[in-house]
Amino acid sequence: MKNGVVIIGAGHAGVQAAASLRELGYDQPVILLSDEPELPYHKPPLSKMFIKDAEGKAQPLRGEAFYAGSAIDFRPGVRIERIDVCRRSLEVAGGGVTNFDNLILATGSRPRTLALPGADLSGVLSLRSLADARLIRDLSAQSEDVVILGGGFIGLEIAATLRAGGRTVSVLEAADRLLGRAVGPMVAAHVRRRLEATGARILLGTTVASFEGKNGHVSAIITSSGERLPARMVVVGIGALPNVELAQAAGLTVGNGIHVDHQMRSSAQEILAIGDVASYHHWFTGSRVRLESVQNATDQARLAARTIMGQGDAFSAVPWFWSDIDDMKLQMVGLTAGGDSHVLLGSLPDNKFSIYHFAGQRLLGIESVNRPSDHILGRKMLAARFSPTPRMVIEGSNTSLNTAIADHLKQGRAGAVL
């Protein structure tokens, strides 16, 4: 052991993996490679605060001093082209080879693109990196009319931010509702109403049929129903694809993401994969998932570090996610798809409510809008592997549920056990 751990990708997952290795006392080299030029930064603010403020700076994940101070060899601007599994080495773009004992693939995901003529006009953008966010910020400052393609979290966050900045904003969504992959229909309808009340136009069941351009820059889009929407900027937010190409070329097992086991190991023992790029059997659903969230990235990173240290327990973190859209703080805990009953607490008109999703008597998760106390309670319940029944939620209070969690932890039995 002397080549240590090499990590490809310095996003939320890669940086946390490096930090966790040092926290656990790993004493071999840790090399963190990034194809971006900057100090690693937080992605969520890019679609929220960052594009609003011409002076705003990226928020570093860790200060510059952290890397040297923790003996993490951070190398920006380095793109890896090939993995040689047998030799345990990497080929760097432009020449050079780096050897590893363990490799962590934290290559993230990239925006899905549109295969339509005109999608390559200037002014048609997508958002993943700080460089993308700078383009969107600069162009939106000169754009009266903006069209967002896709009604997912990133698209809606951008729509809300630009609308608040006085732009004319239209959102096109192919499905018959917003946020189809992420939240239930009730929260989606609420978000739609609130956004429409700000003056944003939301066109459901609508896609882009074609683009119009002037001198190579987009000027309008034509919708699938034939409407012409002027646009100096179009943001494509139609989902993300995992960056699996390196792993695939190296012969690792890959599907929708790099397949990893419950300890984050890929089909090659010494190579692990974490974050947006990893696909795994989730303890909570029992099925294979690939999640895109900060929590997923950092908790998998912590586990990958434990695995390398020989302490690898099975992945057991509680999934959670947030989004800030206009005056709505959305917080999701658990994985709520497939629920068959739902309990609503709070009030939609007050813009403060939570929806508890159940499959039978088992709590799948909670979606909250401006009700952080329910979100926190949900994180505690799932972490304790405690499920209240729907009746306990309807008839009880957060205080009674907190007591039930405590009892459950003491006796291992109160309500249904997850």
Interacting residues toward another protein by CB under 8 A: 42, 44-45, 48, 59-66, 69, 294-295, 298, 322, 324, 329, 331, 370, 372-373, 375-376, 379-380
Minimum CB distance to another protein, residue 276 (Å):
16
Minimum CB distance to another protein, residue 370 (Å):
8
**Which is closer to another protein, CB of 156 or CB of 231?**
156
- What whole-number distance in Å separates Cα of residue 152 and Cα of residue 173? 8
- What whole-number distance in Å separates Cα of residue 253 and Cα of residue 153? 29
Minimum CB distance to another protein, residue 69 (Å):
6
Instruction: Tell me whether strands 168-173 and 416-417 are parallel, antiparallel or unpaired.
Output: unpaired
Measured between alpha carbons, how far is residue 113 from residues 73, 127, 323 in Å?
33, 11, 23
CA torsion through residues 228, 229, 234, 236, sign = negative
- Tokens found for residue 416: 């249904």
**Which is closer to another protein, CB of 287 or CB of 373?**
373
- What whole-number distance in Å separates Cα of residue 267 and Cα of residue 50? 39
CA torsion through residues 284, 321, 31, 248, sign = positive
| Partner from another protein, ligand FAD, none binding residue 267, C-beta < 5-8 Å depending on class | none
Q: What is residue 172's three-state secondary structure? A: strand
Tally of helices (H runs) and strands (E runs) in the chain: 10, 29
Query: Which residues make up the interface to ligand FAD (CB under 6 A)?
Result: 8-14, 33-36, 43-44, 46-47, 79-80, 106-108, 127-128, 154, 243, 246, 275-277, 292-295, 297, 321-323
**Which is closer to ligand FAD, CB of 39 or CB of 297?**
297
Minimum CB distance to ligand FAD, residue 259 (Å):
15
Measured between alpha carbons, how far is residue 60 from residues 19, 40, 45, 64, 403 in Å?
14, 6, 11, 8, 39
**Which is closer to ligand FAD, CB of 95 or CB of 226?**
95
Minimum CB distance to another protein, residue 19 (Å):
9
Minimum CB distance to ligand FAD, residue 405 (Å):
24
| Partner from ligand FAD, another protein, none binding residue 281, C-beta < 5-8 Å depending on class | none
